[in-house]
Structure 1
Amino acid sequence: MKSVTTAALSAALLAGSASAHTIFQKMYVDGVDQGQLVGIRVPDYDGPISDVTSNDIICNGGINPYHTPVPTEVVTVPAGSQVIAEWHHTLNGADAADAADPIDASHKGPVMTYLAKVDDPTSLDVSGLSWFKIQEEGYDASSGVWGVDTLIANDGKVTVEIPACIESGYYLMRHELIALHGASNYPGAQFYMECAQIEITGGGSTSPETVSFPGAYAGSDPGITINIYQTLDSYTVPGPEVFKC
C-alpha cells in the first residue's frame, strides 16, 4: 500500500464533510415491483449508524426513528429467485435533479445482504436473531470499483439471489452498505441498513451457519477501520463468508 498524498488527503477531508445519506426503500421479486416502502422497515431520517455494538446496527431505528406506519406487509419471495433492492437518497424515491441520489459518489464501500429466519417478520423486536450472509460486493482492486459504485451505476439497484436450498418460512432480509469515506478512525465508517419482511416459499432443508448482530462486526475489523485514500491491493468485507447452497 502507498502512503496518502496531499491531494488524496484533501479529497478525504472533503468527502468526510459530505452529508449525503441513503435508504433501502423498494424491492423487486423476479422483476416485479413490490411497491414503494412495501414490507421494508424504513426510517424517517436517512442517516447512518456508526456504533457496531449498538442494537441499531441490526435493522436501523434508534437514532433514525422508524417511518410510520411500520409496515405490516410481508413480501413473498420464492427460493432461488432474484430480488432487487433499490436505494435512494430520501424517501421521495428517485430524483434525477438530486446529485446525491441514490447516494453521494464519495460514500465508497461494500454492499451486503443477510437473512435471518423468524417466527414473526412483523415483530418490532429484532434482537437475538441468527443471520447469514447471502450477497456481498466489496472492492475490485483491478478496476478500483466498490460495491457502492456499482449501486450508483445501476440507479440504486442491487441484485440478490435467494439461495434455493434454505428452508421455507418467514425471514428478515437485512440489506446494508458501508460508506468508508471517513473510516480512517473508529467510529468513522457509516453503516446504512434496512430490513425487509419476507416469506420464502419452495425452499429446501439447509440451515446455514449464522452470526449475531451486534457481534458480527468489530470496530477494529480491517474492512471497517480503513483509509481508502491510498492504493489498496485488496479489501476484506466485514462479516462472515457468503453462504452458498
Structure 2
Amino acid sequence: MKASFVAASVLAQYTSLAAAHSMFQDAAAGTVDYNSTCVRMPPNNSPVTNVAAPEMACNAAGTKATTSTCQATAGSPFTVEMHAQPGDRSCASPAIGGNHFGPVMVYMSAVADATAAGAASGASWFKVDEIGYDAATKTWGTDVLNANCGKRQFVIPAKIPAGDYLVRAEAIALHAASQVGGAQFYMSCYQVKVASSAAGQLPAGVKFPGAYSAQDPGILIDIYSNLKSYTIPGPAVIDKSFF
C-alpha cells in the first residue's frame, strides 16, 4: 500500500512537471490573428536543454516548416503567443506554469524563403525584444507573459528591408538552472513576410547554436538566491535607430 502511494506521488510529480512545459504557437500582426498558421510547430512542448545543439535555433528535431507565412509591416506591432498545449489559447491557465521563471526574448533572421529556409544553417539572428527580471517587483519575463495570456507584443524594426524572415520567440525557464544543463529553453520560429520601404542594411546578428554558453550568468544561475540583478543571455536588442 505504501509502495503504491509512493509510486502514485512520483507519477503525479512528473505529470505536474510535464504539464508546466509549454510552446510558442500563435501569432498576430497588428489586429490580424494568424493563429498557428505560420509557426514551425514543435513536435511537443518539452524544452531544449543543450545550448550547443542545432535544436537551439527552432526547437527539436521533427520541427518542420509550414507552407504559410504571416504578413507583417516594418514599424508595426507583431505578437507571439505561448501556451502549454497545441490549440489551447485559454487564459484560464498559465502560459508557462510550474515555477518556470525566466526571461523572454524575440529574435529575427532574414531568409530567402521563410517556408523553406533551414533554421540552423548559418542564419544570422538579431534580437528585437527582451524582458528579463525586475528585482524591485521580483517579476520575470515569464510572469509578464502569463499576465498577458501568453502574448508578447514587439515592433518589427522599421528600418529593415522587405523580405522573408524567421521570428524566433524564446522563454528560458531557470527554476533548475543552478547546475549546468538545468536551464530549459522553449522556442518556436514563425515564418513572416515583412513589407517595408526601407533599403538599409540588416543589423548584425548571432548564430544558434553559438549565441549562448552553458556557463553564461543568465543561464547557470540560482534564481532563489535573493537576486539583485539579472543578465539576459545573448546579444543586446539592436540599436534603437533600426526602429
Stretches of structure 1 that go unaligned for 5 or more consecutive residues are: 1-13
* Aligned residues of 1:78 and 1:203 also touching (Cα < 8 A): no
Q: What is the correspondence of 1:7-156 to structure 2 with a 5 Å cutoff? A: 18-19=17-18, 20-35=20-35, 37-62=36-61, 65-66=62-63, 70-95=65-90, 99=93, 101-123=94-116, 125-126=118-119, 127-156=121-150
Give the number of equivalent residue pairs: 224
**Which one of the candidate residues 138, 154, 158 is aligned to 1:160?**
154
Aligned equivalents of 1:229, 1:86: Cα separation in 2 = 27
Partner of 2:8: none
The letter for the 1-side match of 2:59 is N
* Aligned residues of 2:68 and 2:191 also touching (Cα < 8 A): yes
Aligned equivalents of 2:195, 2:147: Cα separation in 1 = 31
CA change 1:96–1:137 in 2 (3 A) is closer
The letter for the 1-side match of 2:50 is D
The letter for the 1-side match of 2:63 is Y
The TM-score, its normalising length taken from structure 1, stands at: 0.87
Is 1:212 matched with 2:207? yes
* Aligned residues of 2:51 and 2:209 also touching (Cα < 8 A): yes
The TM-score, its normalising length taken from structure 2, stands at: 0.88
Stretches of structure 2 that go unaligned for 5 or more consecutive residues are: 1-12
Q: 1:92, CA displacement in angstroms?
A: 2.8
* Aligned residues of 1:114 and 1:135 also touching (Cα < 8 A): yes
Aligned equivalents of 1:206, 1:105: Cα separation in 2 = 42
Aligned equivalents of 2:173, 2:217: Cα separation in 1 = 14
* Aligned residues of 2:111 and 2:117 also touching (Cα < 8 A): no
Q: 1:44, CA displacement in angstroms?
A: 2.5
- SS of match in other structure, 1:219: coil
